[in-house]
Amino acid sequence: MVDVLVTAKAPWYTPSRLRVGFTQARKLPLIPITLILVLLVIPAAFADVIAPHDPRAGGLSQRYIPPVWEEGGTSNHILGTDRIGRDVFSRVIHGARVSVIVSLIGIFGGGLIGVTLGMMAGYFGGKLDLLVMRLVDITLSIPSILFALVLAAAVGAGLYTVLIVIGYILWAYYARQVRGEVLAIREADYISRARVTGASHGRILLRHVFPNVINTIIVLATLQVGFVILLEASLSFLGVGLQRPSPAWGLMVADGREVLVSFWWVALFPGLAIMLTVLSLNLLGDWLRDRLDPKLKQL
């Protein structure tokens, strides 16, 4: 019998880095990323440059000017003005900055608390795990709007009320998700070997456990940006969130609800900004989950 040696042929060419980068870029969700950049990131970063008017300044002589394409519209106010003459386009742009600031602070605060408690509960187990999970159950059982109304009645409405409500709600989602991941990670062989070598619990959590849950945290944070924007807009719409004359999207929708038939542009454009931003963030979060979760990753 003659042994046949089979050798694998190398590809006849090596793709350039530019081609590889282009191939990877084609897999990105370009429409959601573009909408996020146009509606959220760029306006939040350059609101003072892009906005043609002061979002808080107006005049009764300029009230309820229609958009530029409507009869009576002017290029000075391309999306029209509201009931006291403030430029709707400028307020929508500055509203993106408000949404980004609230989202970053709220998600960071809630995530820091939730990830810390979730890792400790999943790693140590026992009474600590039981206590944290019961707190999570209690937190998730209380409606967020009801909690916001009670908190606003106790300490007053405003930015701090919104941040407290967001942090109060989000920490429970982080804690529950991270705790479930850590329950499986703590049984891994490399965790046992780290214990045998004398590594402290803090070192194990930071060097071995946390890097294995970071993908989950990133996906969860991305998905929760849209949730936070929607929650902040809802609280502002109900009057327990940011207060006038702050250019928040929820406040703009609330200002236009009573004149929606006659002066539809006051509520329509901030409402569209909320809808498209939240939809794009959810689509981006789903894409990140598919890419970062090894169980869902397409081979």
Q: How many C-beta atoms lie closer than 10 Å to residue 119's C-beta?
A: 23
- Residue 297: inside a domain, yes or no? no
What is the spatial distance between Cα 105 and Cα 40, in angstroms, rounded to a whole number?
A: 16
What is the spatial distance between Cα 241 and Cα 259, in angstroms, rounded to a whole number?
A: 22
What is the spatial distance between Cα 181 and Cα 174, in angstroms, rounded to a whole number?
A: 11
Please give the structure tokens belonging to residue 189: 């062989």
**For each of the chain's 299 residues, which pLDDT tens digit applies?**
445 444 445 454 455 554 544 455 456 667 778 877 777 888 888 888 888 888 888 888 888 889 988 888 888 889 889 888 899 999 999 989 888 888 889 899 999 999 999 999 998 988 999 999 999 999 988 888 888 888 888 888 888 888 888 888 899 999 999 998 998 888 888 888 888 888 888 888 888 889 888 888 888 888 888 888 888 888 888 888 888 888 888 888 888 888 888 889 899 999 998 888 888 888 888 888 777 765 555 44
- Residue 52: inside a domain, yes or no? no
- Residue 227: inside a domain, yes or no? yes
Domain that holds residue 272: 101-292
Q: What is the pTM of this model?
A: 0.79
- Residue 32: inside a domain, yes or no? no
- Residue 43: inside a domain, yes or no? no
Which stretch of DSSP H or E encloses residue 161? helix 159-185
Query: In the chain, how many domains are there?
Result: 1
- Residue 69: inside a domain, yes or no? no
Nearest Cα residue to 58 out of 99, 92, 87, 29 = 87
Output the domain CATH number for residue 178: 1.10.3720.10
- Residue 82: inside a domain, yes or no? no
